[in-house]
A = this chain, B = another copy of it.
Amino acid sequence: MRQSHLFSKVRKEAPADEVAENAKLLIRAGFIHKEMAGVYDYLPLGLRVRNNIVAIIRDEMTKLGAVEISLSALQEKELWEKTGRWSDASVDSWFKTELKNGSSLGLGFTHEEPIARLMTNHIQSYKDLPVYAFQIQTKFRNEKRAKSGIMRGREFLMKDLYSFSKDEKEHAVFYERAKEAYKNIFTRIGIGDSTYETFASGGVFAPYSHEFQTVCDAGEDIIYVDEETGIAVNKEVYTDDVLRDLGLDKEKLKEQKSIEVGNIFSLGTRFSEPLGLVYKSEEGKRIPVVMGSYGIGPDRLMGTIVELFSNEEGVVWPDAVAPFDVHLIGINPDNDTAVEEEIESVYTLLQNKKVNILLDDRDIRAGEKFAESDLIGIPKRIVVSAKTCSAGAHEVYYRKTKETQHLSKELL
């Protein structure tokens, strides 16, 4: 893509009311636009990054054997009353609205209720189980404060996977597989090294839930990490009893600030019982389905990556999620025809090689192009100028390592 075609511009300053580093940088670099606190639009560069993250998540969900669906944001009061999650006393993050006839509706902050009800039409017999379904869809949460940029939005994209199993045993097997899929996702997007499987509070049906926490100073959580085993414990369950139960040695644990980048829950029959999601067993007994839910937020992952990998010049995108693979900078202040032709030739050459490439074809100063390129953070930069043309080798600069190479066109 040509940068002249990409309408977004970089900005000197982020909005004065923006406090989160991830949002400040992404707004300045033209990835997102702030509508209001906790609500962001995705501009072309930002949408490309988010789509890359989504594609990796989708791939891992599909490998798990899950099928994709898409549930509505609008939610019926009557449904959520059945599980005791409608009232603001039990859930304090609802956005509520109403139909013209006065019926109350909510905007889904999660989807256990509608998917459990939906499945009563499709799950009747043990032969119909297990079922694994996921969606990548917009959630709404009426956060009192929204100061973490795209890491905690009032409106945000979420991948939520739900599992439906015959019994705890079948559930446990899938739960472990889901954990592995999550680890694959974090590794693939580039945050695997600093992300820990973390024990957190469970609920009625399980002693613990599992979070994935990425160690980062911008995090809102506190975890205690055992580097040796790669296991961590959330502060909320950090007691001597729990440490004993998990076989962890308090002396070895290190306190860290962290970002919750994913969580998985064993739900037992918490939702299937009140909503009548039961199946007939081989023996003809009616048994409630055992459910699990597995959440991960592409926007939060994007924010986490920015918090982890930025430096004073701007964002540094890992290869797998970068909006483009190569940022081609044409420097041709004298409008030299040969240089112009070489820039276009390199652009075409790399496009033909299926390289995702952004060509800065704008008529602005070279220094400005370099500064903006650093801010945007595409992994590899290629500079074509009168100088590199006459040298017969163009400049290649790696955003992450700040290393420079000079390569002939054929080797780019």
Contact = CB atoms under 8 A, between A and B. Distances in A.
A interface: dominant SS: mixed
A140 interface: yes
B144 A100 contact: yes
A380 to B, nearest CB: 22
Interface string A22-34: 0000000010010
A131 B118 CA distance: 42
Interface of A: 1, 5-9, 11, 30, 33, 35-36, 39-44, 47, 50, 65, 67-76, 95-100, 105, 107, 114, 118-119, 121-123, 128, 131, 133, 138, 140, 142-144, 154-155
A47 B134 CA distance: 12
B73 A73 contact: yes
Nearest to A41: B71
B97 A70 contact: no
Contacts of A99: 142, 154
A63 B304 CA distance: 34
Contact of A118 (B33, B67, B140): B33
B67 A6 contact: yes
B70 A39 contact: no
A128 B7 contact: yes
A142 B76 contact: no
Given A70-B47, A128-B7, A41 B96 contact: no
A161 to B, nearest CB: 13
Contacts of A39: 72, 74
Contact of A69 (B5, B43, B105, B133): B43
A29 B6 CA distance: 42
Contact of A9 (B30, B72, B75, B122): B122
Given A9-B121, A44-B133, A99-B142, 12 more contacts: A1-B67, A33-B118, A35-B74, A35-B75, A35-B76, A41-B69, A41-B118, A42-B69, A44-B67, A50-B70, A72-B155, A74-B95
Contacts of A70: 41-42, 47, 50
Nearest to A123: B7
A5 B65 contact: yes
A85 to B, nearest CB: 16
A374 B60 CA distance: 32
A40 B69 CA distance: 11
Contacts of A35: 71-72, 74-76, 114
Contact of A5 (B67, B96, B140, B155): B67
A69 B44 contact: yes
Contacts of A100: 142-144
Given A97-B96, A138-B138, A74 B154 contact: yes
Nearest to A114: B35
Contact of A74 (B67, B71, B123, B155): B155
Contacts of A40: 72
Contacts of A76: 35-36
A133 B142 CA distance: 29
Contact of A73 (B7, B43, B121, B155): B155
B42 A7 contact: no
Contacts of A128: 7, 9
The 5 closest A-B pairs by CB, nearest first: A42-B70, A7-B131, A44-B67, A97-B97, A95-B97
A59 to B, nearest CB: 15
Nearest to A363: B127
A274 to B, nearest CB: 17
A114 B133 CA distance: 34
Contacts of A6: 67
Contact of A47 (B47, B68, B75, B131): B68
A306 to B, nearest CB: 18
